[in-house]
Amino acid sequence: MGILNVTPDSFSDGGQFADPGAATERAFAMVRDGADIIDIGGESTRPDAASIDADEEWARIGPVIERLEELAAPLSVDTTKSEVAVRAVDFGAAIINDVSGLRFDPGLAELAAERRTGLVLMHMRGDPRTMQGDVTYADLMGEVKGGLAASLASALEAGCDPAQIVLDPGLGFGKSARGSVELIGRLSELATLGRPILVGPSRKSFIGELLDASPGRRLEGTIAACLMALERGARIFRVHDVAEVRSALAVAEAIRDVGAGGRRKD
């Protein structure tokens, strides 16, 4: 899943693709690099990010989505607002990526059920403005797993089919650096929820803390996190550096398949 931020304030590439032309070129380039999905977002979810209304969010992503009709990959819209999601779906978006796990707008589940889109549900404590204020957990994996189970139940109650849903533990969202590392290390424990797992470690602050590196120098750490997550069951990887991560995963999967007697364990 290639990240396409059309925001002025994202932590890693804010403003770089705010121009619709540049954003469109970036989307097609990531598909050429091997992205299976392009995830477009118009509202930053970095720590302390200010919220924006639906009209402003659509004003950022709408002109780009309108240009991606010929994109040879499904389009995912990264939003917590059903007002934005329905417009994106009307223009062909196939997936709704909700970092709030339906806590901010339960209508997203109803929309996904009605329109039969994919639905990514992420765990986050609080909201982007408050999430790093409390990163202490009595039982980190237990709380994350319980939150994801609740989000999944809400989606099913709204009429979604389980096959529509992917779960994301929310690395870096209301978690300390150590907590994000722990979640990757224990990722296999989410298998009992019965849905594919997405991880988004790309250029995150926990990698920066481990390596003492700025966002632009976190590629190697991102690759390492993705490979360890793959080993523990992750199947979708949301990243900025598509070509490099894709290549690393291809080699890791080949080695894994040999270890499994030539058969995938998916």
| 126-139 tens-digit pLDDT | 777 777 777 889 99
Domain 2-259: what homologous superfamily? Dihydropteroate synthase-like (3.20.20.20)
Mind listing the pLDDT tens digit for each residue in 186-240? 999 999 999 999 999 999 999 999 999 999 999 999 999 999 999 999 999 999 9
pLDDT string in tens for the chain (266-residue length): 999 999 875 555 555 667 899 999 999 999 999 999 999 999 988 776 678 999 999 999 999 999 999 999 999 999 999 999 999 999 999 999 999 999 999 999 999 999 999 999 999 987 777 777 778 899 999 999 999 999 999 999 999 999 999 999 999 999 999 999 999 999 999 999 999 999 999 999 999 999 999 999 999 999 999 999 999 999 999 999 999 999 999 999 999 998 777 655 55
Type of residue numbered 213:
A
- State how far the Cα of 141 lies from the Cα of 239, in Å rounded to an integer: 23
Cα–Cα dist 125/153, whole Å = 18
Going along the chain, which residue ranges are E strands?
Answer: 2-5, 38-41, 75-78, 95-98, 118-122, 165-168, 198-199, 236-237
Cα–Cα distance, 245 to 134 (Å, whole number):
31
pLDDT at 42: 93
Specify the pLDDT at position 127: 77
Report the C-alpha gap between 16 and 39 in whole angstroms: 16
Do residues 245 and 36 touch, judged by C-beta distance below 8 A?
no
pTM given for the model: 0.92
HSE (side-chain half, CA atoms, 13 Å) at 150: 13
- For the chain, what is the mean pLDDT? 93
Domain ranges in the chain?
Answer: 2-259
Helix, strand, coil share of the chain (percent; to 5): 45, 10, 40
The strand pair at 118-122 and 95-98 is best described as: parallel
Q: Which residues are annotated as catalytic?
A: 204, 238
Find the angle CA(192)-CA(196)-CA(199) to the nearest 5 degrees.
105
- Measure the CA–CA gap between 20 and 148, rounded to whole angstroms: 34
First and final CA of the chain: distance in angstroms? 18
d(CA 30, CA 107): 30
Contact 235, 221 (CB under 8 A): no
How far apart are the C-alpha atoms of 186 and 190, rounded to whole Å? 8
